[in-house]
A and B are shown apart, each in its own frame.
Chain A
Amino acid sequence: MPDAIVTLQGVDKDYPLGAVVVRALQGVDLEIDAGEFTVIAGPSGSGKTTLLNLIGCVDVATRGTVTIDGANTHKLSERDLTRLRLHKLGFIFQSFNLVGVLDAFQNIELPLLLQRDLGAAARTERVRGLLEQVGLTAFAHHRPGELSGGQRQRVAIARALVSQPRIVLADEPTANLDSVTGAQILELMQALNRTGTTFLFSTHDPRVVERARRVVRMVDGRIDSDSAMSPAAAVSPAAAVSPAAAVSPAAALATLTPAAADHPAAATSV
């Protein structure tokens, strides 16, 4: 699996809730490859956020392994996990989560300052480039409070991309936006995906699902269907994710149709 950025094997996540245990994820196997534009779909409470949190290394699985870019996250210290998030992951949050006291430019620059790899001139150039890509050059020195929701999410996208992460994770990135703005944000992410950024996001918005190249459907903490699954994988659960199918999104789509017959939900969404 040379291209796998994310690999989950037999992942469970339990939340102890008083006397009972909420089983938020159960036996999740998943593999995400470079260049994908994948949607985790499913109803509220199905475990999408939990899954993204595990992949984003902000939470740990109860059982199973989560491998990010070749590193088994269970074996990493808190410090190394933080470093991994800084260098390999980008985050886009439902509520944008910008630092209120910093302007757009400074918010985007933040991960670069944390990385300490680039000098001031290189940082400025990188941030300017991203501001341009997300169409906010004119708003560089506005603070989040002076920006609209869509503009804030653009800043957040630029912040997620500025460190050139291996994968960008977005938990319901359009949930707090009106539908027109949401569509614009999605278009932006798609365009960025075409230039090479890998995206993984969760949503329960069908219009978002329509645009995905690959859809992973969650129900009750399990993967109910995965549009990337090959027919072979479907008959042989041991190899739930086919490496062949995962090589490129196009290949995944091409091999999908027969398997999709068994999964009406997946079939309608592709």
Chain B
Amino acid sequence: MGMLFRMATRNLGVHKIRTSLLGTAIALVTALLALLSGLFTGMQTTMLRTATTLMTGHVNVAGFYKPTSGTVAPVVTKAAALRAFVEKKTPGVKLIVTRGRGWGKVVSDKSSQQAALVGIDIGAEVGFRDVVQVKTGSLEGLREPHSCVIFQSTAKRLEVKVGDTVTLSAPTFRGVNNTVDVKIVAIGGDLGMFSGFNVYVPEATIRELYQLDPLTVGAIQLYVNEPDRAEEIAATLRADIEKAGWRVLPPVSQPFWRKFDTVKREDWTGQKIDVTTWTDEMQFMKWTLATVGTLITIIVGVLLVIISVGMMNALSMAIRERTREIGTLRAIGMQRGGILGLFVLEAALLGLGATIVGVVLAIGTAALVNGIGVGVGEDFQMFVMRETLWLEMDGGTVALSVGVIAAATIVASLGPAWRASRLPPVVAMQSAK
């Protein structure tokens, strides 16, 4: 093995141009894969963080209340007991908040738009403070009743600024329209496509608008330590809640506002609980990530084919040049496996060396890009949910890039190496050069 290693490294060293060309190509593809994966992971992380702050918890305990079988309100009545129960039953929970949820019109002096109205308790919303980048004003204003926080795109559309008053208008669940005037206390930087449709008000203001009693909430949102396990946690919680005597809706992977019509048509009255996860609520996000993931896979797949062909070519060339040497090694007693090993080792060393260079390159680039804050175009912002590009180079991404590319180069070398190992030893006697 030591001997094969020595021969492999030296052969790579002898063919400097071929080695460096192929090595550079492999390194660049690795770097690209790592950066694209970093972008993907970054998107995923940012999306998860942003979306789960703005729109949903990792796990949501919400539901629908039907005063009559034909009307429906997306609320949980007598929520305090349920909240206490959920808190007790869910280990590994970081944060539990309650929110009010509604959909109505925001009207300014100049304009108006439809928006999701979200009632929050700013004192409890630790994550919200982290995620929202206040451009003007202060989130503390939400401690006062009749206040609201909007995002830049909404502010632009409504032509309003901090200190202005807008009117929220929504039909109550009894069917009559109600309005509440709120003062804009802060304007946040846009966070992708969701921010433009969201208006945040104190929970009490939502209750006032919808004329709800103080024990009624929109949703109990749970933030857990392991968001990846949300499905599991939700399933357990759903079962626990049902066992404890609450009526529970069967799981349907849809955002809550898409369930309205179905629930409205169902023939029951009173309260039912619906336990959902962030993936249920954020179908759009899932779709976006899947699309981006597929695109990356295609790009990298094509590049992989190219470098695989390059590797096969380079090895075939090397084998043609070294036919006599291969025959000689076979003649003096090296087994076929030794020849196979020699060429696979050459490919593996080149592949591994180049992928490591590529990954180092990618990590450097990512640090630079993250450091200087490269702006993202407005259309793209909607997908990445950030104003600047964020490349997340975690251990998994790096290992995956190295693993995939190095494995591909090794696989590509198997064919030529196999052919080399099948050369008859008599080729050693071929005339020189």
Most buried by B among A82, A87, A109: A82
Contact residues, A91-147 vs B (CB, 8 A): 91, 93-95, 97, 99-102, 106, 109-111, 113-115
Chain A nearest CB, measured from B57 CB (Å): 62
Residues on the A chain within 8 Å of B14, using CB: 100-101
Assess A78 versus B333: contact at CB under 8 Å? Given A53-B426, A99-B328, A100-B325. no
> When the two chains form their complex, are residues A93 and B7 in contact, meaning their CB atoms are under 8 A apart?
no
Whether a CB of chain B sits under 8 angstroms from the CB of A59 is yes
Q: Measured between alpha carbons, how far is A78 from B428 in the docked complex, in Å?
A: 16
Closest to A82 in B: B335
Whether a CB of chain B sits under 8 angstroms from the CB of A171 is yes
Whether a CB of chain B sits under 8 angstroms from the CB of A261 is no
> When the two chains form their complex, are residues B3 and A49 in contact, meaning their CB atoms are under 8 A apart?
no
Whether a CB of chain A sits under 8 angstroms from the CB of B92 is no
Whether a CB of chain A sits under 8 angstroms from the CB of B67 is no
Assess A110 versus B424: contact at CB under 8 Å? Given A95-B431, A101-B10. no
Closest to A79 in B: B335
> When the two chains form their complex, are residues A82 and B431 in contact, meaning their CB atoms are under 8 A apart?
no
Whether a CB of chain A sits under 8 angstroms from the CB of B81 is no
Assess A102 versus B332: contact at CB under 8 Å? Given A49-B429, A97-B324, A97-B428. no
> When the two chains form their complex, are residues B10 and A87 in contact, meaning their CB atoms are under 8 A apart?
no
* A-B contact list, 24 entries, CB within 8 Å: A49-B429, A58-B424, A59-B424, A79-B336, A82-B330, A82-B333, A82-B335, A85-B331, A85-B332, A87-B333, A91-B328, A91-B331, A91-B428, A93-B429, A95-B432, A97-B324, A100-B325, A101-B6, A102-B7, A106-B6, A110-B329, A113-B3, A114-B338, A171-B429
**Looking at the complex, which one of B335, B338, B429 makes contact with A58 (CB distance below 8 Å)?**
B429
> When the two chains form their complex, are residues A83 and B324 in contact, meaning their CB atoms are under 8 A apart?
no
Q: Measured between alpha carbons, how far is A268 from B77 in the docked complex, in Å?
A: 121
Chain A nearest CB, measured from B375 CB (Å): 51
Whether a CB of chain B sits under 8 angstroms from the CB of A56 is yes
> When the two chains form their complex, are residues A101 and B11 in contact, meaning their CB atoms are under 8 A apart?
yes
Q: Measured between alpha carbons, how far is A114 from B341 in the docked complex, in Å?
A: 13
Q: A106-B3, A163-B333 are in contact. List 6 more A-B contacts (CB 8 A).
A: A58-B425, A58-B428, A78-B336, A97-B325, A100-B325, A106-B6
> When the two chains form their complex, are residues A85 and B425 in contact, meaning their CB atoms are under 8 A apart?
yes
> How extensive is the interface on chain A, given as a class?
20 to 34
Residues on the A chain within 8 Å of B2, using CB: 113
Q: Measured between alpha carbons, how far is A93 from B331 in the docked complex, in Å?
A: 10
Q: Measured between alpha carbons, how far is A235 from B424 in the docked complex, in Å?
A: 40
Whether a CB of chain B sits under 8 angstroms from the CB of A30 is no
Closest to A87 in B: B333
Whether a CB of chain A sits under 8 angstroms from the CB of B334 is yes
Whether a CB of chain B sits under 8 angstroms from the CB of A154 is no
Contact residues, B346-364 vs A (CB, 8 A): none
**1/0 contact trace for A36-61 toward B, CB 8 Å?**
00000000000001000100101100
Residues on the A chain within 8 Å of B332, using CB: 85-86, 90-91, 110-111, 114, 159-160
Q: Measured between alpha carbons, how far is A59 from B338 in the docked complex, in Å?
A: 19
B interface list, Cβ under 8 A from A: 2-3, 6-7, 10-11, 13-14, 324-325, 327-336, 338, 424-426, 428-429, 431-432
Residues on the A chain within 8 Å of B431, using CB: 95
Q: Measured between alpha carbons, how far is A155 from B354 in the docked complex, in Å?
A: 35
Residues on the A chain within 8 Å of B432, using CB: 95, 176
Closest to B335 in A: A82
Chain B nearest CB, measured from A168 CB (Å): 11
Residues on the B chain within 8 Å of A99, using CB: 7, 325, 328-329
Closest to B7 in A: A101
> When the two chains form their complex, are residues B331 and A58 in contact, meaning their CB atoms are under 8 A apart?
yes
Q: Measured between alpha carbons, how far is A83 from B327 in the docked complex, in Å?
A: 15
Residues on the A chain within 8 Å of B334, using CB: 82, 86, 114
Chain A nearest CB, measured from B320 CB (Å): 15
Most buried by B among A58, A78, A90: A58
Residues on the A chain within 8 Å of B7, using CB: 99, 101-102
Q: Measured between alpha carbons, how far is A78 from B324 in the docked complex, in Å?
A: 19
Residues on the A chain within 8 Å of B325, using CB: 97, 99-100
Residues on the B chain within 8 Å of A82, using CB: 330, 333-336, 425
Chain A nearest CB, measured from B347 CB (Å): 16
Chain A nearest CB, measured from B166 CB (Å): 78
Chain B nearest CB, measured from A17 CB (Å): 16
Chain B nearest CB, measured from A121 CB (Å): 15
Assess A102 versus B6: contact at CB under 8 Å? Given A93-B328, A115-B333. yes
Chain B nearest CB, measured from A55 CB (Å): 12
Q: Measured between alpha carbons, how far is A56 from B330 in the docked complex, in Å?
A: 11
Q: Measured between alpha carbons, how far is A264 from B266 in the docked complex, in Å?
A: 116
Q: Measured between alpha carbons, how far is A95 from B427 in the docked complex, in Å?
A: 12
Chain B nearest CB, measured from A14 CB (Å): 15
Assess A56 versus B333: contact at CB under 8 Å? Given A93-B429, A97-B325, A101-B14. no
Q: Measured between alpha carbons, how far is A109 from B13 in the docked complex, in Å?
A: 21
> When the two chains form their complex, are residues A93 and B428 in contact, meaning their CB atoms are under 8 A apart?
yes
Residues on the B chain within 8 Å of A58, using CB: 327, 330-331, 424-426, 428-429
**Looking at the complex, which one of B11, B328, B333 makes contact with A97 (CB distance below 8 Å)?**
B328
Q: Measured between alpha carbons, how far is A201 from B333 in the docked complex, in Å?
A: 19
Contact residues, A221-260 vs B (CB, 8 A): none
